[in-house]
């Protein structure tokens, strides 16, 4: 069985196509599952029952793992000293969602389309794919979240036009401009911020409440422990209420007594105005990259729980002159789109066709990929081979030249970023590649670089002089796990699930 999974920073959702329509699948916690893990005596518990333990035992609690995807290093070390990488923690969440969905759907879930923010880099996409494999799921596709939302709107509502997807989630922000017509969906441009979301709005409210409590002679609740976890929960609750009410009370138990801090919606909007303005700037920038203006946007689709804050719709109405659309639940659109795509992917991974007929969808690269090399003046600089916002799948060829005769090897430095300045891009892989003997100076080496439909990249090298393919290189990134490590993790996860230590 196949499902679509919106693996969110704070909440995750699962959907499946049943009887021709995409529907959210109920899990233990209902339609949304907190992306939170609690280690109960070393064994992982996922969802609301984990989240409820955050304040009680913060050292056994892990959340916001998505922000660490594609980074090495543990997000948690349990009491026995076992270290958990971000993809292992995500695997625990994915395994829980898949087994819950299996119970609801009455079968075993083996395959899934999993969504990621559009601007996730290559390492974070691979980490997500690895997480699925550790969880025992075949990742059918790693799909960009805004594209998934576009698929949900386009296919569920059969609308066409130029859409902007404004996706403000728990920990991330994405804006995407796309054209939808008939069964086609074409992403024109996308951008985002990996560290901007509801969590940051919570943080500002936490500071506000903590200072108010201090000002009335109360204790400092931002202790990095239980007090802070309770304050965070109280502030997130109050923030949600402020989406419906014009004032709310933040109620939090301190070590001394219950503290109550009143806050109005207007005050909340004032103190978080800077965050909202950042989303406006990014939206403007994506429009500029699309060569479009606000009047060209037929509809803004709101995605992500934080887009429920009334100030978001107010801002977008001011910019577009029209009320944004929320007719598909913003928490659910991404999972629904993922499920629709999962249902459409051919078993043998043939090119994806969405919907009936000859339609399809085109996504774009969310960051430039290139090669670090010496330029004409002998200065090490970045050559962007595939610029950002290039439709995918795609492949580009570019010639580089040896610097001396009989050069034995080249140092391959892949870059992720859009600047020519090497200091402004991320050099993601370092590899020494042996060259055939007796190449003259300035011998052309042709680099073929491409993104597959997952926006995961591949790279090949061709020796033009001898007309020989030097090989397609598997990217070995220190940030990602090796096959052996993944297999070991899978075994550990199975043991944990079986209740053995």
* Residue 129 CB contacts under 8 Å (≥ 6 apart), including other chains: 114, 139, 142, 454, 456
Among 38, 166, 199, 268, binds ligand AMP (CB under 6 A): 199
CA-derived radius of gyration, the chain = 24
Stretch that binds ligand AMP, among 90-98, 298-306, 363-371, 459-467 (CB under 6 A): 298-306
Residue with tokens 């789109």: 337
Stretch that binds ligand AMP, among 91-99, 101-109, 302-310, 473-481 (CB under 6 A): 302-310
Select from 469, 451, 454, 475 the least CA-distant residue to 396.
451
Q: Where in the sequence numbering do the catalytic residues fall? A: 6, 66, 145, 167
Residue 304 binds ligand AMP (CB under 6 A): yes
The Cα angle at residue 21 between residues 360 and 304, in degrees rounded to 5: 75
Q: How far is the CB of 167 from ligand AMP (least distance, A)?
A: 8
Helix (H) or strand (E) segment spanning residue 296: none
Separation of alpha carbons 447 and 102, rounded Å = 44
Q: How far is the CB of 494 from ligand AMP (least distance, A)?
A: 28
Q: Is 482 exposed, middle or buried (0-12, 13-18, 19+ CB in 10 A)?
A: exposed
Q: How far is the CB of 299 from ligand AMP (least distance, A)?
A: 20
Distance of CA 353 to the CA centre of its chain: 23
Q: How far is the CB of 235 from ligand AMP (least distance, A)?
A: 9
Residue 34 binds ligand AMP (CB under 6 A): no
Among 11, 84, 119, 166, binds ligand AMP (CB under 6 A): 11
Separation of alpha carbons 222 and 234, rounded Å = 13
**Could you give the strand order of the β-sheet that contains 369-374, starting from the edge strand earlier in sequence?**
380-386, 369-374, 409-416, 426-434
Residue 166 binds ligand AMP (CB under 6 A): no
Among 4, 5, 7, 10, binds ligand AMP (CB under 6 A): 10
Phi then psi for residue 269, to 5 deg, are: -65, -35
Residue (12 or 489) nearer to ligand AMP, CB? 12
Residue (191 or 416) nearer to ligand AMP, CB? 191
Is the Cβ–Cβ distance between 463 and 400 less than 8 Å? no
Separation of alpha carbons 126 and 147, rounded Å = 18
Contact string 249-288 vs ligand AMP (x = CB under 6 A): ----------------------------------------
The full DSSP string for 103-123 is HHHTS---EEEEEE-TT--HH
Residue 44 binds ligand AMP (CB under 6 A): no
Stretch that binds ligand AMP, among 147-155, 195-203, 268-276, 408-416 (CB under 6 A): 195-203
Among 198, 337, 370, 450, binds ligand AMP (CB under 6 A): 198
Among 154, 192, 227, 305, binds ligand AMP (CB under 6 A): 305
Q: How far is the CB of 244 from ligand AMP (least distance, A)?
A: 7
User: Under the rule (CB under 6 A), what is the footprint of ligand AMP?
Assistant: 8-11, 169-170, 197-199, 236, 239-240, 243, 304-306, 308-309, 331
């Amino acid at each position: 069985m196949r499902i679509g999974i919106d693996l969110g920073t704070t909440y995750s959702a699962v959907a499946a196509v049943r009887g021709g329509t995409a529907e959210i699948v109920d899990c233990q916690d209902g339609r949304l599952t907190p992306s939170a893990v609690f280690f109960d005596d070393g064994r992982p518990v996922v969802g609301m029952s984990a989240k409820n333990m955050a304040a009680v035992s913060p050292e056994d609690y892990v959340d916001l793992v998505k922000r660490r995807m594609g980074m090495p290093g543990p997000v948690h070390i349990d009491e026995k000293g076992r270290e958990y990488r971000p993809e292992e923690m995500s695997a625990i969440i994915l395994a829980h969602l898949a087994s819950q969905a299996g119970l609801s759907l009455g079968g075993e879930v083996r395959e899934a389309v999993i969504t990621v923010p559009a601007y996730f880099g290559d390492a974070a996409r691979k980490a997500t794919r690895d997480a699925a494999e550790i969880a025992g799921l075949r990742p059918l596709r790693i799909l960009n979240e805004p594209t998934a939302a576009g698929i949900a709107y386009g296919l569920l509502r059969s609308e066409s036009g130029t859409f902007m997807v404004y996706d403000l989630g728990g920990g991330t922000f994405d804006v995407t401009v796309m054209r939808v017509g008939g069964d086609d969906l074409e992403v024109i441009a996308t951008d985002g911020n990996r560290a901007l979301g509801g969590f940051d709005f919570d943080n500002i409210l936490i500071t506000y409440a903590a200072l108010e409590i201090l000002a009335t002679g109360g204790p400092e609740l931002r202790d990095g422990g239980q007090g802070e976890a309770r304050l965070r929960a109280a502030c997130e609750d109050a923030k949600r209420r402020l989406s419906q009410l014009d004032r709310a009370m933040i109620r939090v138990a301190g070590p001394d007594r219950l503290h109550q801090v009143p806050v109005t919606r207007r005050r909340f909007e004032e103190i978080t105005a800077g965050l909202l303005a950042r989303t406006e700037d990014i939206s403007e920038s994506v429009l500029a990259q699309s060569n479009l203006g606000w009047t060209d946007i037929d509809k803004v689709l709101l995605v992500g729980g934080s887009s429920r804050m009334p100030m978001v719709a107010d801002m977008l109405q001011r910019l577009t002159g029209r009320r944004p659309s929320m007719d598909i639940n913003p928490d659910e659109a991404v999972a629904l789109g993922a499920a629709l795509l999962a249902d459409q992917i051919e078993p043998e991974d043939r090119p994806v066709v969405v919907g009936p007929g000859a339609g399809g969808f085109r996504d774009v690269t969310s960051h430039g990929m290139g090669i670090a090399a010496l330029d004409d003046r002998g200065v090490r600089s970045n050559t962007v081979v595939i610029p950002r916002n290039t439709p995918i799948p795609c492949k580009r060829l570019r010639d580089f030249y040896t610097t001396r005769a009989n050069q034995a090897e080249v140092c391959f430095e892949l870059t992720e970023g859009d600047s020519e300045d090497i200091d402004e891009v991320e050099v993601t892989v370092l590899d020494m590649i042996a060259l055939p003997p007796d190449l003259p100076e300035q011998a052309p080496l042709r680099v073929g670089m491409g993104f597959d439909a997952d926006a995961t990249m591949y790279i090949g090298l061709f020796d033009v002089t001898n007309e020989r393919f030097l090989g397609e290189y598997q990217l070995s990134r220190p940030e990602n796990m090796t096959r052996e490590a993944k297999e070991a993790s899978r075994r550990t996860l199975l043991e944990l699930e079986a209740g053995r230590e």
